[in-house]
Chain A
Amino acid sequence: MSDRLRPTPGQTVGPFFHYALPFAGDSELVPPGRPDAIRLHGRVLDGQVAPLQDALVEIWQADPEGVVVQEPGSIHRDGWTFTGWGRAATDNTGRYSFTTLLPGATEPGAAPFFAVTVFARGLLNRLFTRAYVPGHPALVDDALLSSLDATRRQTLVAAADASGLEFDIHLQGDRETVFLTYPGH
């Protein structure tokens, strides 16, 4: 579309976002301890597999029934409303962690995933990726996953662990995560 306006460019989040962007309950999409709560966690790593202590990860997801929630309340969480959005800064071991629910498929036959955004000092613009729920039968027919070779595909599928799902984000290197761009970017 030629009448599209040119977008305003992004810039790095920089090193000094911690007093501005994180907020109480930012990474708790549901209260910890809720019976159906899972943990989605992992590390953000650089090209030498060193953890980033100053990265920020955001997730945006459907609820367990696959419903895309359009409810406010992500910043002022009331403990009951699932909004589908959360934010987590990495700690000094490069780890982020969300308490959330397992997303469902947004339509029949679709593979459920968390939409993920990554920001960091040293990263000049945000990166988008997907963390797919492992073991789902629709993974084999997913258009994005099918377009990738096995090594690259694996970077987009979270690993099940005792508390939920683990999803490491490699900005560079042999296990570099597949990052996404969308039409119009």
Chain B
Amino acid sequence: MTTPTLATQSAISDEIAEIAAGAVPGGQQPQLDYAPYRSSLLRHPTKDLQQVDPEGIELWAPCFGHQDVDPLEADLTIQHSGEPIGERITIAGRVVDGSSRPVAHQLVEIWQANAGGRYIHQRDQHPAPLDPNFTGAGRCLTDADGTYTFQTIKPGPYPWKNHRNAWRPAHVHFSLFGTDFTQRMITQMYFPGDPLFALDPIYQSITDQDDRDRLVATYDHDLTRPEWSTGYRWDIVLTGSHRTWMDDEDHT
């Protein structure tokens, strides 16, 4: 078997444009069957997702508490003896459900590359430097208002092997839980104005521009701390909760 030649960026961009031209507005995002992201070819379901009303356990979400998450885990810049290299940033926002209700006291997990675009993961072979003072993983619990806050450094873009000269826009992975099981999701937060957006098949697998925009944080000077770090705001909307809420349940 010969090794398949990697597609060029322009061939991938043509595929992205062709799918975008035929995309129907609305519906679920991202697309699961999205060939420009080559790893998805054998890994997307070919049958329609089965619509079902959530029952029993699906109407509830797991609980996490202070024994599970130390408040210091929300600061990715203090996990080693020295300061990590890079632009120190604060990322904060609110997690709400589809009816704007805060998702209170719930787990948020993040992970990211370092300022040079390198993950500490052993499968990352990008020859950019590792930073001995940066691991790039953090956790927190949202507060009663659904607000989360992380202190970290701005990740760099990095190359990958989807196609020739493929680069991912800088991003932070977010893992989120809601108030019921059906709201579980993992996504990626991006930074405003990234020139790689148009070229990236993972970002473009969300075929609707408004939906894509929902993954981009905004610079927020109110979150910027004098002489310390710049601030980015990113609010997250989970899908609707299916449970009948009790009056006293919202903020427990």
Contacts and interface: CB of A to CB of B under 8 A. Distances in A.
B252 to A, nearest CB: 10
A182 B52 CA distance: 5
A160 interface: no
A19 B49 contact: no
Contacts of A52: 43
Contacts of B211: 6, 9
B100 interface: yes
The secondary structure that dominates the B interface is loop
Given A62-B57, A179-B49, A8 B98 contact: no
Interface in A83-101: 83-85
Interface residues of B, number: 78
Given A21-B111, A182-B58, A171 B120 contact: no
Interface size, A (range): 35 or more
A5 B37 CA distance: 28
Given A119-B186, A124-B34, A8 B237 contact: yes
B67 A180 contact: no
A60 B13 CA distance: 39
A122 B50 contact: no
A161 interface: no
Interface of B: 28-32, 34, 37, 39-47, 49-58, 60-69, 96, 98-100, 107, 109-111, 113, 119-121, 123-124, 135-137, 139, 173, 175, 181-182, 184-188, 202-203, 205-206, 210-212, 214-215, 236-240, 242
